[in-house]
């Protein structure tokens, strides 16, 4: 496929807000692609070059792209900057410049453009920045206006197409079956091999049957299993019992530890909840993983600041300091980390994903029986005693942790899925209230915190005018992948957090409402933010409001809203796709009545 043909499809995608129409367009693109380019096509459609876990980034920010455009079209950086301020999008600037340069339809193929962009991204070492600018400018100068528009947007992460990998999974099903009936089959493979390009390539060359051979493999992250919420311990026993495995819910970074042999060398990779490569951030975990007496293994756990001498866990605000690219050795001394492992998914060339949890736990206990260095085994109790679970819940919260996770003993590992195989019990649990003297009858309370996308900001007044922002618009994720408003937020911030939020908003500012946002005009913020920043929110309760769109069934109806929301923390370990869903909010709304 010529890149110009892909650019025409990208233009169609940008002009539609319909999820079904997007799926049809994507299915058409994928159908036309050759099997050898299907993987590269998927990455480019998502504005990427490789899956996130491979850790290859462009490292081309907007300022550098301005220099690229100046070099490509013989303009000054000042001219490009003025045009950018006027148009608000560097892709549009590239389009106009290429038109004036009378660029014709490019003959470059998708694979050719992809390969050159990958080479540019891999540039490193002395002089790499100048080489990136020169090579990127050279590529743009060979492209027609429409192709230049989208190639400019890819490195700066601004494709503005409004869909995620979930829509691509639907599109692959439509491509192969004419409908979405194969979605679950495709998603199963994606959950254990989180590489949508690989999935597309397999389907193109061998059909859906080729996915049956895809299994977990060390070095490629597995999409993590997620827990459901329930309010009472009685409900937990009813859903997952009669006996459950109970563990502390630690408040740190979800971490998958992968160990395998390659070319006679023991390889270690660590992956985050959102499948980012975090190996370089946590050297003490890597050093401990090298000591594991295994040929290969995939472990699932939580990484948290921990003092082994006192047995005390550090709060998340201190643990989060370790999520950094620079000064790693210095902060490793200040905030030592440990990974507490609660599941084993693979050992010595065998996948255990489909084994019952009770069996996986026994294998895990043999594998890291006493812990090794900074890697520890989570404590667990098997019980059906509601009073014991309530006591354990109180002990966990009193220790500064989030609560408990109760696990169904005969359940497989549900990669990429949220369900009642794992159930969260947190501070808002009625069980805890009863243990502390009884919940107040008739009082409502929100069952859990929720993770919201920061969709935009309102300008500050009075003291907050100095911060540049005075409040925020929050949203949650719909089943269609779009984001729906649920609340305004103006409390729970320290002065320092307001300043931090302003800095973050400045980097995310969008000239117009992103196409994957659904909001009523009467609550439009002064500044729109591109989907990026996730914040954890606590509120008194979930209510209904005609102003918000989350869960609203029809125009003029009422959507979900938050009463007295306040900021708990920024969730830098989560992507927008990890935000709480409308469906989860609906469940919490029904559960919150005591």
Q: Which residues are annotated as a binding site for ATP?
A: 247, 254, 273, 302, 342, 418, 424
- Token reading at 473: 């618009």
| Cα 401 to Cα 389: distance, rounded to the nearest angstrom | 15
Q: How far apart are the first and last CA of the chain?
A: 59
| Cα 60 to Cα 154: distance, rounded to the nearest angstrom | 10
| Cα 73 to Cα 81: distance, rounded to the nearest angstrom | 14
Spell out the residues 6+ positions from residue 327 whose beta carbon is closer than 8 angstroms to its own.
none
CA nearest to 539, candidates 486, 466, 461: 486
β-strand partners of 109: 2
Q: Which of 40, 132, 202, 249 is catalytic?
A: 249
β-strand partners of 593: 444
Instruction: List phi, psi (to 5°) of 228.
Output: -85, 170
Q: Is 230 helix (H, G, I), strand (E, B) or coil?
A: coil
Q: Is 90 helix (H, G, I), strand (E, B) or coil?
A: helix
Name the H helices within 462-543: 495-508
- Whether 249 is catalytic is yes
Would you call 552 exposed, middle or buried from its count of C-beta atoms within 10 A (0-12, 13-18, 19+)? buried
- Token reading at 18: 């319909």
Q: Is 414 helix (H, G, I), strand (E, B) or coil?
A: coil
Please say whether the beta carbons of 59 and 207 come within 8 A: no
Neighbours of 300 (CB within 10 A): 22
Distances (CA, A) of 213 to 169, 203, 207, 208, 346: 18, 12, 12, 10, 16
Binding residues: 247, 254, 273, 302, 342, 418, 424
- Which sequence positions are flagged as catalytic? 249
């Amino acid at each position: 496929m010529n890149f110009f043909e892909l650019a025409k499809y990208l233009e169609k995608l940008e002009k539609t807000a319909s999820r079904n129409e997007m799926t049809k367009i994507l299915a058409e693109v994928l159908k036309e692609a050759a099997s050898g380019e299907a993987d590269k096509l998927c990455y480019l459609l998502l504005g990427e070059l490789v899956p996130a876990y491979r850790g290859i980034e462009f490292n081309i920010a907007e300022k550098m792209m301005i220099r690229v455009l100046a070099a490509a079209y013989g303009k000054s950086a000042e001219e490009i900057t003025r045009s950018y301020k006027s148009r608000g999008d560097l892709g549009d600037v590239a389009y106009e410049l290429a038109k004036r340069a009378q660029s014709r339809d490019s003959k470059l193929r998708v694979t050719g453009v992809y390969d050159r962009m990958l080479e540019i991204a891999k540039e490193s070492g002395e002089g790499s920045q100048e080489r990136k600018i020169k090579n990127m400018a050279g590529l743009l100068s060979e492209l027609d206006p429409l192709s230049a528009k989208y190639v400019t947007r890819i490195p700066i992460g601004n494709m503005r197409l409004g869909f995620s990998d979930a829509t691509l999974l639907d599109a692959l099903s439509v491509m192969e079956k004419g409908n979405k009936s194969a979605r679950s089959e495709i998603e199963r493979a994606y959950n254990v091999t989180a590489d949508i390009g690989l999935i597309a390539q397999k389907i193109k060359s061998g059909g859906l049957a080729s996915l049956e051979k895809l299994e977990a493999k060390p070095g490629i992250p597995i999409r993590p299993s997620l827990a459901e919420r329930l309010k009472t311990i009685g409900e937990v026993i009813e859903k997952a019992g009669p006996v459950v495995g109970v563990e502390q819910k630690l408040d740190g970074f979800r971490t998958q530890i992968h160990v395998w042999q390659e070319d006679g060398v023991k390889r270690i990779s660590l992956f985050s909840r959102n499948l980012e490569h975090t190996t370089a951030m946590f050297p003490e975990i890597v050093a401990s993983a090298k000591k594991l007496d295994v040929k290969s293994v995939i472990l699932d756990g939580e990484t948290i600041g921990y003092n082994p001498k006192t047995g005390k866990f550090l709060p998340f605000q201190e643990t989060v300091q370790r999520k950094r690219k620079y000064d790693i050795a210095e902060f490793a001394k200040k905030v030592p980390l440990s990974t507490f492992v609660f599941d084993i998914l693979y050992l010595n060339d065998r996948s255990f994903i489909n084994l019952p949890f009770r069996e996986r736990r026994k294998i895990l206990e043999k594998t890291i029986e006493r812990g090794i260095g900074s890697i520890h085994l989570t404590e667990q109790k098997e019980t059906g005693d509601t009073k014991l679970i309530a006591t354990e819940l109180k002990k966990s919260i009193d220790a500064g942790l989030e609560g408990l996770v109760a696990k169904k003993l005969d359940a497989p590992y549900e990669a990429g899925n949220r369900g009642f195989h794992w159930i969260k019990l947190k501070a808002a649990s009625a069980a805890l209230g009863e243990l502390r003297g009884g919940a107040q009858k008739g009082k409502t309370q929100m069952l859990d915190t929720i993770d919201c996308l920061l969709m935009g900001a309102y300008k500050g007044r009075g003291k907050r005018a100095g911060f540049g922002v005075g409040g925020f618009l929050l949203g949650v994720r719909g089943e269609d992948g779009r984001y729906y408003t649920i609340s305004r937020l103006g409390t729970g911030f320290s002065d320092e957090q307001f300043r931090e939020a302003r800095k973050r908003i400045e980097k995310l500012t969008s000239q117009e409402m992103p196409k994957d946002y659904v909001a009523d005009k009467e609550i439009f913020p002064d500044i729109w933010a591109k989907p990026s920043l996730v914040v954890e929110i606590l509120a008194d309760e979930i209510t209904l409001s005609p102003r918000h769109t989350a869960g609203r069934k029809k125009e003029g109806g009422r959507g979900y809203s938050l009463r007295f929301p306040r900021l708990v923390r920024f969730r830098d370990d989560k992507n927008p796709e990890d935000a709480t869903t409308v469906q989860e909010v609906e469940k919490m709304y029904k559960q919150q009545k005591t």
